[in-house]
Amino acid sequence: MRIGNKTLANLGTSLLLISGLLVSSCISQNKVKLMQETVAKQASTEFANNKNTTYRLQAGDHLYIEVYSVDPKTSKFFQTDFPDLMNPTYLYLKSYSVDEFGYINFSFVDKMYVKGLTVPEVKEQIQKTLNEYFKESTVVVKLVNFEVSVIGEVNEPGSFTIYRDQINLFQAIGLAGGFKEFGNPKRVKLVRQTQTGSTTVELDLSKDKILESPYFYMQPNDVVYVEPLNAKSWAYIRFPYETILVLVSTALVGYSLFGE
């Protein structure tokens, strides 16, 4: 049976409708790309960023403190002549907790107030005290409880313990498996603890200027929340395309057989 002009018109309209649905649910690549250039494209671009951590110690933090010396008696006093396992459990068990008043108790050193200090500042204070009693000794201080959390539109949300001095936003999101298909790099919230509470800042990871942000390098207990794109509600994973296509195709076939 020959299909009339009216049928062809309706067929074309239906195809346009389907095409429109498909196009409306697609995501622009510009919405999900990271570090897009804000200036004219260049062979390379440098971004200044202070990598030194400004984290200030708080009550409940744990510090791993070890003293090393070429003098056997000093090493024996601090038990550094024993082999170190240097695994996370060992570091935690040998750490010194900052009490609720901001103090730590380290060996023969009097109670030391460390709340509000950085790790390098604590190291400097302990080293100064050691130099009064021991020769050729060196102190090592590390923060044990460096943990960050990544939630929202990432593949493997959760909390992660960091066994390095620094980690940036992209590395943290990488630990969480990266962005999901509908993760919005333009709307990433960072929650950071302060001495008086918490602060929240919204970051745009789609621009390369993020490399200069003071929030690019993370601090202990930071929480990263990746918001979803608005297009998620029309995503293929939720929109019943197959059902709609079957219904439309059936209607077109029926119309071609029984219509004009």
| Residue 210 pLDDT level (bands cut at 50, 70, 90) | very high
The pLDDT, as a whole number, for residue 244 is 63
Whether 43 has a pLDDT exceeding 80, the answer reads: no
Spatial distance between the Cα atoms of 126 and 65, rounded to a whole number of angstroms: 9
- Based on the number of CB atoms within 10 Å of its own CB, is 229 exposed (0-12), middle (13-18) or buried (19 or more)? buried
Write down the pLDDT at residue 72: 79
CA–CA dist 58, 104 (Å, integer): 11
Sequence letter at residue 147 = E
Q: Residue ranges per domain, the chain?
A: 1-10+30-36+47-53+145-260, 62-143
Question: Residue 253: which pLDDT band, with cuts at 50, 70 and 90?
Answer: low
Angle at 153 between CA 143 and CA 196, to 5 degrees: 40
Top-tier CATH class for 62-143: alpha beta
- What's the pLDDT score for residue 152? 96
Tokens at 62, concatenated: 């744990």
Report DSSP state, residue 206: T
Q: pTM of this prediction?
A: 0.65
Residue 71: predicted pLDDT = 79
Q: State the Cα–Cα distance between residues 106 and 126, nearest whole angstrom.
A: 9
Q: Is the pLDDT assigned to residue 257 strictly greater than 90? A: no
What pLDDT, in 10s, does the model give residues 164-195? 878 999 999 999 999 999 999 999 999 998 87
pLDDT for the residue numbered 6: 56
- Is the predicted pLDDT of residue 205 greater than 90, yes or no? yes
SS3 258: helix
Q: Residue 250 burial (CB < 10 Å; 0-12/13-18/19+)? A: exposed
In which element (H, E) is residue 188 found? Answer: strand 183-193
H-assigned helices in 149-194: 169-175
**pLDDT for 53-109, tens place per residue?**
678 898 889 998 888 888 777 777 777 655 566 666 777 778 899 999 999 988 767
Q: Which CATH architecture has domain 1-10+30-36+47-53+145-260?
A: Roll (3.10)
- pLDDT: which is higher, 196 or 200: 200
Tokens of 92: 């935690």
Helix (DSSP H) and strand (DSSP E) numbers for the chain: 6, 10
Average pLDDT score over residue span 5-12: 54
- For residue 184, the one-letter residue type is N
Decide if 67 contacts 130 (C-beta within 8 A): yes
Contact, 67 vs 80, CB < 8 A? yes
Q: Quote the DSSP letter at residue 154.
A: B
Q: Which residues of 149-165 are buried (b: 16+ CB within 10 A; e: fewer)?
A: bbebbbeebeebebeee
